[in-house]
Structure formats: C-alpha cells, structure tokens
Amino acid sequence: MTNIKILAPLAGQLIPLTEVEDPIFSQKTMGEGFGIKPTGDRILAPVTGAK
C-alpha cells in the first residue's frame, strides 16, 4: 500500500458545513463535509503532481 500525504490547502478555521454561504454545500447536496474560513491570503495545491 502506498501512503499519500494530503495537506491543508490554506490556513483557516474549520466551520460546520451548514455555515457555508453556498446553498449547494450548506444544504449538504454534495454530501457531508466542512468549510474553512480563511485566515491568510494564500491557497496552495494540497498534493504534488500526479505520477
């Protein structure tokens, strides 16, 4: 089995999905999850390129 490390794409505070402004997500149309309220100004790719 190969281990894959996935990092957070941005710094921020986790919020319940129901507090996300987009109704597609807050009404859980796409399923369960969470939101991230950003605290910085950078968004990074959470994984390296595909092999």
19 in any annotated domain:
yes
17 in any annotated domain:
yes
The domain tally of the chain equals: 1
20 in any annotated domain:
yes
**CB neighbour list of residue 7: distance below 8 Å, 6 or more residues apart:** 44, 46, 47
The confidence band for 1, taking pLDDT boundaries of 50, 70 and 90, is confident
pLDDT digits (tens, 9 = 90+) for 2-47: 887 777 788 999 999 999 999 999 999 999 999 999 998 998 876 7
1 in any annotated domain:
no
The answer to whether residue 50 scores a pLDDT higher than 60 is: no
Q: Identify the domain containing residue 25 by its residue range.
A: 9-40
With beta carbons less than 8 A apart as the criterion, state whether 44 and 36 touch. Answer: no
